Amino acid sequence: MPQDKADNTLEILITLLKTGLDEKIVPRSEGYKFVLFFIILTAITGIYNIIFLLRVTDGLLCLIIAAAFYYLCYIYRKRKLLKTIKNMSPEELTTLSNAAQVLLVRGEKWSIVNVDNLKLQFKGNPFNLLIKQHLKKLKDPQKFMEAIFGTTQILSLSAQSLTESFIDRWNERVYDKEFWRKDTSDVFSEIIEDARSALSSVNAPTDDETLFNMFQIVVLSYAYSASTQPKMQKFIGIK
């Protein structure tokens, strides 16, 4: 393998581990989860022996066994991820790298997206609070631009073609004060249903992750505008 490709593969691997995207690329098997459970149980046994039973030797032995198994699991998983990454096409690697960079910029960990669960999580808080949280997390307007660009890049090409008009359409709601006070769950539902309709019109994927990314693009666009316009922050009620 050429050195530059090897370096790129290693860089992607490190980023995957940092963002939790390794779980998406190589999901943990039931056997792997069982081994992790054994490691945790062994480590707890070791600590219990040392602290409560004062059996230091037995306790240290348990901790050493747990550490050894954990290291072996780490090496096994790392090699499996490397093999998977090496077999990916350049296009797949680019998409994966973009997704990882977006998570790094947003300071988030990857998790399986479920639209119904997100509706429940968002329920009970005004929409302007979500914008405030993004402002607190990223702060720098440049970070918002990077996050918007990165999120757009991980969409399919057909979905990417819609993002500009989609943002423009939702920017029409910016001047409605009541919009910012609506329940986040309700706004989320409106945006993803609009996204589903728009995506379907160009035969783009309408899976939960794509719908959520379309929602994120709109939210990040709002947050970017607010980060550069203090008057907007006051208008939407977050200052």
Residues 94 and 155: beta-carbon distance below 8 Å = no
DSSP conformational letter for 88: S
Residue 179 domain flag: yes
155/226 same-domain check: yes
74/173 same-domain check: no
Enter the pTM of the model.
0.72
Residue 30 domain flag: yes
d(CA 10, CA 212): 29
Q: What is the largest CA-CA distance in the chain?
A: 69
Task: Tell me the pLDDT of the chain (239 aa) as tens digits.
Answer: 444 545 566 677 777 777 787 887 888 889 989 999 999 999 999 999 999 999 999 999 999 999 999 999 999 988 888 888 888 888 777 777 777 777 776 667 777 789 999 999 999 999 999 999 989 888 788 888 888 988 898 898 899 999 999 999 999 999 999 999 999 999 999 999 999 999 999 999 999 999 999 999 999 999 999 999 999 999 999 86
Residue 70 domain flag: yes
3-state helix, strand and coil shares in percent for the chain, rounded to the nearest 5: 80, 0, 20
Report pLDDT for 1.
Answer: 46
The torsion angle over the Cα atoms of residues 11, 27, 204 and 93, rounded to 10 degrees, is 20
Residue 164 domain flag: yes
Residues 16 and 105: beta-carbon distance below 8 Å = no
Residues 179 and 187: beta-carbon distance below 8 Å = yes
Residue 107 domain flag: no
Last residue of a domain, one of 31, 59, 92: 92
Residue 51: phi, psi to the nearest 5?
-80, -45
In the chain, the amino acid numbered 83 is K
CB-neighbour burial class of residue 107 (10 A; exposed 0-12, middle 13-18, buried 19+): exposed
Number of domains within the chain:
2
Residue 119: phi, psi to the nearest 5?
-60, -40
Residue 103 domain flag: no
144/41 same-domain check: no
**Which range marks the domain in which residue 124 is found?**
112-236
d(CA 82, CA 143): 29
